[in-house]
Amino acid sequence: MADNCILDIAAIDDIDMMRELWASLPGLGLGPGDDKAAITGFIMRNPHTCLVLRNNGKIIGTVLGGFDGRRGYVYHLAVKQDYQRNGYATLLLENVVQALKNEGAGKIHLLVFRDNSAAQSFYSACGWHLREDINIFSLL
Ligand SMILES: CC(C)(COP(=O)(O)OP(=O)(O)OC[C@H]1O[C@@H](n2cnc3c(N)ncnc32)[C@H](O)[C@@H]1OP(=O)(O)O)[C@@H](O)C(=O)NCCC(=O)NCCS
């Protein structure tokens, strides 16, 4: 990790920079649940499981962990383009998994768009496995 890169709990004041980072990257599928109020609510409900990586005052990585009392969910794992392939997402993922386990999550899930091959390669490299036995149903 770069000397001045710090892993930290996400704060409400970080949300503008987090959203800027998400908007700069393909693959995240941003929607109505990503406006400032929604992310504020998410962080307030999950104060120990939303993480950022800071470098010289800028946010270069994020991950949102959510625990619903039964399962853990990982959202918006993202690393700024120039910083990718340095192990930062691995670091964020390992730490959010630990934070979710600390909350009591036994199983942890995440969603990846089928055309996001970079993220799929990443999660496979991290030891996560693709479920072939489940379809997702959404109420829009
Ligand atoms: C997916 C993402 C988070 C990976 O971040 P990263 O910091 O580059 O990942 P790491 O450096 O920890 O990668 C660890 C390993 O994952 C695999 N990997 C990561 N990115 C990859 C890519 N683009 N293509 C193929 N394999 C990849 C490699 O095996 C890599 O190890 P290596 O660099 O030694 O080969 C980053 O590409 C990103 O922010 N993408 C846009 C947002 C996104 O799609 N997020 C996922 C939402 S579900």
Can you list the domains of the chain with their CATH numbers? 5-125 (3.40.630.30)
- Residue 106: pLDDT band (50, 70, 90) is very high
Which residue in 60, 70, 77, 72 sits closest to 123, CA to CA? 77
How are beta strands 50-55 and 58-67 bridged, if at all?
Answer: antiparallel
The 3-state DSSP class for residue 20 equals: helix
Calculate how far, in angstroms, residue 15's C-alpha sits from the geometric centre of ligand 1: 22
Q: What confidence score (pLDDT) does residue 10 get?
A: 98
- Residue 4: pLDDT band (50, 70, 90) is confident
Q: For residue 110, what are the CA distances in angstroms to 12, 13, 41, 59, 138?
A: 23, 25, 19, 22, 15
Q: Measured from the CB, is residue 44 less than 6 Å from ligand 1?
A: no
Burial class (CB in 10 A: 0-12, 13-18, 19+), 10: buried
Return the H-helix or E-strand segment holding 97. helix 88-103
Give the pLDDT confidence of 114-136 residue by residue, as tens digits.
999 999 999 999 999 999 999 99
The answer to whether the predicted template modeling score (pTM) of the entire model surpasses 0.85 is yes
Calculate how far, in angstroms, residue 31's C-alpha sits from the geometric centre of ligand 1: 22
The 3-state DSSP class for residue 138 equals: coil
Give the pLDDT confidence of 24-78 residue by residue, as tens digits.
999 898 888 999 999 999 999 999 999 999 999 999 999 999 999 999 999 999 9
pLDDT at 1 over 60: no
Tell me the C-alpha distance between 116 and 129, whole Å: 15
Q: What confidence score (pLDDT) does residue 39 get?
A: 98
User: Ligand 1: which residue has its CA nearest to atom 22?
Assistant: 118
